[in-house]
Amino acid sequence: MKSPFVYTPGPTSVRENVRLARAMETTNPDLDLEFYDFYKETCEKFGEFLHTENEVRILSGEGILGLEAACASLTEKGDRVLVIDNGIFGEGFGDFVTMYGGEAVYYRSDRKREIPVEELKAFLEKDSDFKYATIVHCDTPSGVLNNLAEICPLLKSKGILTVVDSVAAMGGVELKVDEWNIDIALGGSQKCLSAPAGLTFLSISKDAFNAMKARKTPIASYYCNLLIWEHYYENKWFPYTMPISDIMGLREALDNIMKEGLDNVIARHKKIAEATRKAIESAGLKLYIEQGHSDTVTVFELPEEVHEEELKGYLMDKYNILIAGSFDYLKGKVIRIGHMGENANLEKLIYVLMALQKSLEYLGFNPKVDMCESFLEYMK
């Protein structure tokens, strides 16, 4: 089987040194004290990556594990939780809140735009009695990016803990956990980190730990209980056997980013994303998001004459490229190109845009310009 060029909004391409790191001989992570040091050092490196002094943990499970664990650990029966919703994943946080007995109160906003901070502020002036709030940094199904730099400090000023899903943004756009007052910041290995899927990493503030300790009832989960991780290093005890090969690969992927320089990585994502959006629009295609575009994924509306499955199928059969549609209310309406992590790459995007141009032409839509030329013009 020939591996396709994967240009979905995660999982992303994995560099060879990351794959080789996962193939290295391993020890027993429960008993070998050196691994506890390796794990702790890796968590500390993630602290630097996230611009935080908060505790960081790496959990065995895809990014959704972190979302559920945050809600499981904080939520008690009857807790009011503000679910900030301008996308499919933003709304989805409410399921975790109610699953653990909380009352999800939704702040809903235009799904084609970033959350309007002034409108949210007006909402909070009327009602701010919430234990914590959830927000998605980049809501991947639509490609909208929310302004955490203003939203999280606003929430914190009202005494509301902040839980942020940055799985599809972390490492591709700016994120400053401490400066922005984020209590729990959640990431996943398979997006901008460009490691294989299977790991969650997250930072946990003292306020978040204190809220967990102040609970009147036990956390209704073991695997999703973040509190049991608090003193793992001092006690030399992991709650479960750690996926050591995955963590070794994740460490290598993080080192790749830090060697390039995080600011340089974010600038690269921004340049690639702006050039991709310019190429798409110049061709006569319409971007789905009107305001607040993420630099990790571009989402555009399908022309009337082109069907999602036909376009994806032709790209795969003719060019061996895997791109994504979306789901829920966006199913069959948009196409998503992921340009995050190893995929935020000029040479790779040229091939994707060339193939997209040829595929659209074959299926009956004639782009107004050559998308590759438009892309390269912006990249100069």
Same domain, 251 and 350: no
Same domain, 166 and 116: yes
Same domain, 253 and 303: no
Residue that terminates a domain, selected from 259, 291, 321: 259
Q: How do residues 298-313 score in pLDDT, each as one tens digit?
A: 999 999 999 999 999 9
Q: How do residues 246-300 score in pLDDT, each as one tens digit?
A: 999 999 999 999 999 999 999 999 999 999 999 999 999 999 999 999 999 999 9
Residues linked to residue 300 through DSSP beta bridges, in sequence order = 287, 335
Same domain, 162 and 272: no
Residue that terminates a domain, selected from 209, 235, 259: 259
Q: How do residues 316-336 score in pLDDT, each as one tens digit?
A: 999 999 999 999 999 999 999
What pTM was estimated for this model as a whole? 0.97
Same domain, 207 and 266: no
Q: What is the pLDDT of residue 235?
A: 97
Same domain, 267 and 155: no
Q: What is the pLDDT of residue 3?
A: 87
236: Cα separation from own chain's centroid: 30
Q: Is 9 exposed, middle or buried (0-12, 13-18, 19+ CB in 10 A)?
A: buried
Structure-token pair, residue 86 = 């301008």
| Confidence grade of residue 1 (pLDDT, cut at 50, 70, 90) | low
Q: What's the domain range around 319?
A: 5-9+261-379
Return d(Cα 40, Cα 242) in angstroms, integer.
13
* CATH of residue 162: 3.40.640.10
* CATH of residue 309: 3.90.1150.10
Max intra-chain CA distance, the chain:
64
Residue that terminates a domain, selected from 241, 259, 277: 259
Tally of structural domains, the chain: 2
Same domain, 82 and 51: yes
Same domain, 223 and 270: no
Same domain, 320 and 225: no
